Structure 1
């Protein structure tokens, strides 16, 4: 049962003079925040939700065309409560068109998906640049995630009288750097673990806002300054719930490690450098859904990965 406690921070992206400071503070203390006045048009958010709903209405044989040998890179059916589509590494040429071909998306749906994906990516870039600025790092700029793998997931929670009280999936952290989430603006269900108390708290809908949260790679990159928040979705009421999430994962070719500016005598390096796919593999093999696999990459652990 979710505990009643105050909500996650709400940050106005238009307050530029304090934006970097507020984003870093929220990511350190909560691992997440709501972003408002972000510039993503409400009409586009509504259209993308409608596209998501219509794609999930397609026959199972069409939805399964989005399947992938690696479970988290394609269509997922998790029990009878949760299912999701995955558009993996959408910055690669033709990735969006391939995804739309798999699901027989209409020309209008393709247009909405194209517009939405890159509008959300621009917001992620701004958040990344402000994190870089707020941590006192140089070289942030407007393209801080150049060369990173990026993933878009569309989620449906099949909530009914029979599934109320059930979870749409286990408590988990996200594997990547940051996540930009358009959660359902009507149907409640998102829950996050408060850092200080370890209590599970509800994250109530706020129409027109986006939820930003830190993943495992973000915590490693920040030398453990940022908090990789644990979260899940519960079925609160018998109404289907939809969300769309952009995951900024990690650089395709470079090792994940904290920048030298975040490492000194008082703040020694917490993790050895590693490639993202190696970490993803270890996390899956050890079934470490809430980030426990990071301990295997700790500088205090003498074992070689």
Structure 2
């Protein structure tokens, strides 16, 4: 194994394969009917809803184009992120996260108790954001998390705030389409997102000399409602295809966003849609950048299957849980190696 730090080494069965299957099958969905038409055509919307529903069922992932986010804004954000990560470790650690306020910079995230080959900078969409102090269900204390203020680049924070607004707009539109695809009212999910706990993450994956042993991010499912991912042209995201159980590489599409439905939508839909495992490959030659936006409910949202989607034949498959407590537990367990498995939605499974 040479000089590789064993903290980064995946167990044998989870190591990446050198032969790669490309995800030509992941749907690319054109959102121009809702973003480029002043009065959307009902039949276009109906077709869009069907496409979204089919993608959610078959893959749990899809890409969107003509999404309304200005490409110039994304370019400015990409450039600012690269400038930040190009700094010395000493400079980056001036905005380091800690266990009290887990926003900011860090390079020691663990997924499934194996260290990820990456460094990260996190920003909250709402600054400050109110969350429970800890995950103890009997403790009703709260704390405010706030964003770091990197000194360099000087315009970084302003660009992030502008980008967050665009991400929120897109996220709400996507949630409406997903709601309609489930047969519920378009605005059904909005009530859960008052004072939402969403955040944006900047990922930097340096070149890795051990691409057969390490991963940029190990296999995992996203805990929130929806993830909107911007990735560069290097690629590396792999999705576990539900039918074949094969790891499939998501080929980068210019100016597209990769969307995945997350654990909360799996619970709301009572397993009609599934949150799918994914991971990130490392590259021996090239560095990679990606920017996910994690759209999460407010801390006091109670997550459980929607009443409209349950009945005697399809009883609720999950008991309710409070998002804030779940979220805090998950974030704190990402900060260091744990003795026990991270909290998952299947811990709330009823059958």
TM range (shorter): 0.7 to 0.9
Equivalent residue number for residue 193 of structure 1: 240
The alpha-carbon deviation at position 4 of structure 1 amounts to 4.7
Which of 18, 27, 35 in structure 2 is aligned with 1:9? 27
In terms of mean alpha carbon deviation, does 260-269 or 278-287 score higher? 278-287
Deviation at 1:197, TM superposition (A): 1.1
How far is the alpha carbon of 1:281 from its aligned partner? 5.7
Q: Which of residues 260, 284, 308 is equivalent to 1:261?
A: 308
Query: Matches of residues 159-178 of structure 1 in structure 2 within 5 Å?
Result: 159-160=207-208, 162-165=209-212, 166-178=214-226
Distance (Å, rounded) in 2 between the aligned partners of 1:38 and 1:237: 32
Contact 1:66–1:99 (Cα < 8 Å) also in 2: no
Alignment correspondent of 2:169? 122
Counterpart position of 2:348: 297
User: Aligned pair in 2 of structure 1 residues 116, 6: CA closer, same or farther (>3 Å)?
Assistant: same
SS across alignment from 1:182: strand
How far off its partner does 1:82 sit? 0.5
Task: Indicate whether 1:87 and 2:127 are aligned.
Answer: no
Q: Which residue of 2 aligns with 1:303?
A: none
State the SS of the aligned residue for 1:126: helix
The residue number in structure 2 matching 1:270 is 317
Give the Å deviation of 1:173. 0.6
- Say how many residue pairs are matched: 292
Match of 1:31 in 2: 60
Q: Distance in 2 between matches of 1:139 and 1:22?
A: 16
Matches within 5 A, 1:1-305: 1=17, 2-4=20-22, 6-15=24-33, 16-17=44-45, 18-64=47-93, 65-69=95-99, 73-78=103-108, 81-88=117-124, 90-93=125-128, 99=147, 101=149, 103-138=150-185, 140=187, 143=190, 145-160=193-208, 162-165=209-212, 166-184=214-232, 186-280=233-327, 284=333, 286-288=340-342, 293-300=344-351
5+ long unaligned stretches in structure 2: 1-16, 34-43, 109-114, 131-145
1:68/1:273 Cα in 2 relative to 1: closer, same or farther (>3 Å)? same
| 1:187-235 alpha-carbon deviations (Å, 9 max, x no partner) | 0211110011111000011110000001111211111111101111111
- Secondary structure, in 3 states, of the residue corresponding to 1:265? coil
Q: TM-score, normalised by structure 2?
A: 0.76
Larger Cα Rg: Structure 1 or Structure 2? 2
Q: Aligned partners of 2:83, 2:178: CA distance in 1, in Å?
A: 35
C-alpha spacing 1:250/1:287, structure 2 compared with 1 (3 Å): farther
TM-score by length of 1: 0.86
* Deviation of 1:171 (Å): 0.7
- Could you tell me how far apart the structure 2 residues matched to 1:45 and 1:142 are? 27
Distance verdict in 2 for CA 1:297–1:135, change over 3 Å: same
| CA distance, structure 2, for counterparts of residue 93 and residue 69 of structure 1 | 16
Indicate the SS of the match to 1:171. Answer: strand
Report the aligned-residue RMSD: 2.6
- Looking at structure 2, the residues matched to 70 and 214 of structure 1 have their Cα atoms a distance apart, in angstroms, of 28
Q: Is the 8 A contact 1:86 1:154 kept in 2?
A: yes
Distance 2:280 2:68 in 1: 26
After superposition, give the CA deviation of every residue in 1:73-104 in whole Å (9 maximum; x if it has no partner): 4433135830101113x223599xx6352x11
